[in-house]
Structure 1
Amino acid sequence: MRRLVSCLLASVTLASVTLASVTLAAATSVMAQAVPTAVVELPALERASEVLFWSQDQREAGFRAMDRIVPHRAIAAGGTAHPLPQGEPLAIDADRFILEEKVAGLLVLQDGKVRLERYGLGFGPEGRWTSFSVAKSLTSTLVGAAIRDGFIESLETPIMQYLPELSGSAYDGVTVRQLLTMTSGADWNEDYTDPNADVARFFEPHETGGMDPTLHYMRQLKRAAEPGTRWHYSTGETNLVGVLVSRATGKTLSGYLSEKLWHPYGMEQDAGWMIDAVGQEASGCCVMASLRDWGRVGQFVLGGGKIGDTAILPEGWLAQATTKQADYGEAGKGYGLQWWTNDDGRFSANGIFGQSINIDPERKTVIVILSAWPTATGRSPAREAFLKQVAEALD
């Protein structure tokens, strides 16, 4: 399974900013203050893909400072934070997991109460950590909100209604649903080891003739399969979804996310969303938020997408979004509407270098893990074992 994201790629042409000195710190426990141990100077990003080859120190420093490296647009929070009361401490030893998995933040909520909250890598409760591909699930949620608000007709609406520049391309006949499930049939190379892959070239500066750069690149792709017949991971398509939502609503994604979720639900801190060279949010990647606010995102979804008694999403939206809509060939798992699904009812939002929001409706739990893995992708048996350990402790 490829839980991949193009992450920083969208803003590199604007981001020759060097983070001159970022302080690292030793691992910390809940609410402890970080103790400086080293200073790391992050290089300017001449190519977007360079972030994939940062040293471990640069990852640990940079992932909590991305808004100082590449441009972000603010997502305004509300005045009163949604409460996360302290629950009974979870009887589990997380120290080894935190150290070995390079965990910056770990939060376990059950019934909306904090059962476990830990920090490491010099990160703390006041900091914000980049989401990488976890942002895809937020983008999907904004599609649901836009359908309920009447800005987008339905999941079955052809995307050409909102993105006519794609006419005559591989996206002819593709629906909103097929974009969200990554079954458009358009060819796309998301190999991060290949400097000529689409995911690497997508955000390179190029002449667009005044067209939005995302649309200009995506309209050149070839069709590899008929729409709806093949699942194929494509961060470019989530960026297309973001352009579609902005077009349909007439709002920035950051503004719409603040309006529908961040402000009314009561996020504790303003967040930030990375923008590209024309000011469009890179909707497949890179929202910066605190550990607790990521927990609140999970709690919002676990609670049915409501704020108080007000539904933000169409009836039945989350049932579709968080259950298998496409099969990518791994037994017991699937892909929903920009959520990774399990046949047992659990689902998650995932990002490279070990970011995840894991939601278990049966146990009424949200588990957020923010990390700086040494590699961008891959399966982590240690994480799977830890999630199982948490479930057993909760049971």
Structure 2
Amino acid sequence: MRKIGKWVLRILIVFVLAAVVVGLWQREQITRLLAVNSLFSPEKIVHNFSNMDAAFLNTPVSRGNGPTAELPYGDDADLPDSVDPWIDARSVTALVVLKDGAIVHESYYKGTNPDDRRISWSVAKSYLSALFGVLVAEGAIASIDDPVVKYAEALKGGAYDGASIRNVLNMSSGVTFDEDYLDPKSDINRMGRVLALGKSMDGFAAELQETFTTAGAEWKYVSIDTHVLSMVVRGATGRPIAELLSEKIIAPMGVEQSPYYLTDGYGTAFVLGGLNLITRDYARMGQTFLQMGNYNGVQIVPEQWVMESTVPSAPTADGAIGYGYQWWIPQGAPEGEFLARGIYGQYVYVNRPRGVVIATNAADRKFREDGVADQNIAIFREIANNL
């Protein structure tokens, strides 16, 4: 009987320990899910956007051991009178303006500070594009006209089977993906729950089966396309994105602080919107592209890729904003005017003819309203033309 009693006791201990472990695991999942549900609430959004690592799985992107590249300060610029009301209306939290490579304006709002590593949202897509250009030039990826399944075999038989890398870079994959942030059942929100619950982003992409048109026939903004590009990169190199971005882009750029990516439960970087940097380092990226991929005395991104990725090559509708390889090109833009942008008011605006870069972060809960994006571009152009 004593032996049976000891055996039962051991079983109970195992079950108790298992319950504790499961409880802790579920608590972490529940915490992240609650964070997703309150991420954009009015009372939390500003704090959340500067502290994403407090609520979500993440991985560092090392800046390396090199010195910080100089980003000098020039004479303070007198910004147009329209800027102050725009800052208030658009809930801007940071604004950094460069002219000829020097900071001529830098300001922070809503209790934030220069050292906050702010969420990029879709500005991160342009960083992955830059990395892609390096890897193509190095030969790790033979051609952007290769099918994505050549490098990402998990996508065979799914919605992306038949799309080329170029199609996906251009957001013309033809894959059906609902990007309605207001619909809790939309694909973009389902994807957010995948991230919060520590599931697999690769698995989510591989499960997509539907297309709405032939690949390359029509442009439609599909955020999961950018994750597919990361699957191509990882398949081609056998290395994680955070490591590659550090080595190829971030360390050579000499940024001030090591960024970080949000990740899924498998440590896979959330490349379509999970990069976090300080605003001055976003401006460094813009300056790199203004200087045709050269920064800190190094040709970081091939000049040819900079040229190709920032012109409107995607099959967008007539009269609509243009799109390149994960970069936006405004209507009526002269050669060398383009931008990266993310939801809630994140921008890196480049105006090469004027020698101007503008990096801005915001917590603009009205970013979806008609005319807001056009208003933002108009303000950037006004600032650039005033310098």
TM-score, normalization by structure 2: 0.84
Q: Does 1:279 align with 2:272?
A: no
Q: Out of 107, 110, 123, which is 2:96 matched to?
A: 107
- Identical counterparts, % of pairs: 30
Equivalences for residues 131-170 of structure 1 within 5 A: 131-170=120-159
Q: How many pairs align?
A: 353
Question: What do residues 313-345 of structure 1 show as CA deviations (whole Å, max 9, x unaligned)?
Answer: 345211111110124336262110000113323
Find the residue that maps to 1:258 and give its secondary structure: helix
Residue 293 in structure 1 maps to residue 267 in structure 2: no
Question: What SS does structure 2 have at the residue aligned with 1:357?
Answer: strand
What whole-Å deviation, never above 9, does each CA across 1:143-202 have from its counterpart, x for those lacking one?
111112221111111111111122222222211111111111121111112222111223
Amino acid at match of 1:161: K
**Structure 1, residues 38-77: CA drift from partner, whole Å, max 9, x if none?**
xxxxx9442675256x322200111000011112111111
2:170 & 2:26 partners in 1: Cα distance? Answer: 31
264-273 or 245-254: which moved more? 245-254
3-state SS, counterpart of residue 382 of structure 2: helix
1:257-272 aligned at under 5 Å gives the runs 257-272=245-260
**Matched residue, 1:57:** 43
Q: Is the 8 A contact 1:302 1:359 kept in 2?
A: yes
1:87 maps to 74
Between 384-393 and 279-288, the greater mean CA deviation after superposition: 384-393
Indicate if the aligned counterparts of 1:189 and 1:198 stay in contact, CA closer than 8 A.
yes
* Contact 1:322 1:340 survives alignment (8 Å): yes
Pairwise CA RMSD of aligned residues? 2.5
Question: What CA deviation, in whole Å up to 9, does each residue of 1:183-239 have, x standing for no partner?
Answer: 111211111122221112235459xxxx95424544432121111101111111111
Structure with the greater alpha carbon radius of gyration: 2
CA–CA distance in 1 between the matches of 2:48 and 2:26? 13
SS in 2 for 1:132: coil
Aligned: 1:369 with 2:360: yes
Find out whether 1:392 has 2:366 as its counterpart.
no
Q: TM-score, normalised by structure 1?
A: 0.83
Please say if residues 33 and 193 of structure 2, whose CA atoms lie closer than 8 Å, have aligned partners that are also in contact.
no
Q: Once the 2 structures are TM-superposed, how far is the Cα of residue 110 of structure 1 from its aligned partner? A: 1.1
Indicate the residue corresponding to 1:6 in structure 2: none
Instruction: Give SS of 1:118's match.
Output: strand
1:279-309 CA-to-partner distances (Å, cap 9, x unmatched) read 1001101211111111111111111112456
Judged with a 3 Å threshold, the aligned counterparts in structure 2 of structure 1 residues 138 and 15 are, in CA distance, closer, same or farther, namely farther
Tell me, which stretches of 5 or more residues in structure 1 are unaligned?
1-13, 19-42
Identify the residue that residue 183 of structure 1 maps to in structure 2: 172
**Cα 1:261–1:221 shift into 2, 3 Å:** same
Gap change, CA 1:129 and 1:309, over 3 Å in 2: closer
Q: Choose the corresponding residue for 1:356, options 331, 347, 359.
A: 347
Q: 1:217 to 1:246 in 2, by over 3 A?
A: closer
Q: Note if 1:69 corresponds to 2:55.
A: yes
Contact 1:147 1:314 in 2 (8 A): no
The 8 Å contact of residues 201 and 264 in structure 2, kept in 1 or not, is answered as no
Contact map agreement 1:269 1:290 (CA 8 A) in 2: yes
Contact 2:159 2:175 in 1 (8 A): yes
How big is the shift at 1:260?
Answer: 1.0
Q: What does 1:105-254 align with in structure 2 at a 5 Å threshold?
A: 105-205=94-194, 213-254=201-242
CA contact under 8 A between 1:320 and 1:336: conserved in structure 2? yes
Aligned to 1:340: 328
Spell out, residue by residue over 1:343-379, the C-alpha distance to the aligned partner (whole angstroms, 9 max, x if none). 3231110001100000001111110110011235344
**Aligned to 2:185, what secondary structure does the other structure show?**
coil
Q: Is the 8 A contact 1:128 1:290 kept in 2?
A: yes
Given that residues 223 and 272 in structure 2 are in contact (C-alpha distance below 8 angstroms), is that contact kept between their aligned partners in structure 1?
A: yes
1:324 aligns with 2:312: yes
**Paired AA for residue 368 in structure 1:** A
Unaligned runs of 5+ in 2: 1-24
Code of the aligned partner of 2:173: S
Q: Which one has the bigger helix percentage? A: 2
State the distance in 1 between where 2:295 and 2:376 align: 31
Alpha-carbon shift at residue 248 of structure 1 (Å): 1.4
- Supply the distance in 2 between the matched residues of 1:58 and 1:271 (Cα, whole angstroms): 22
SS at match of 1:377: coil
Aligned partner of 2:4 in structure 1 is none
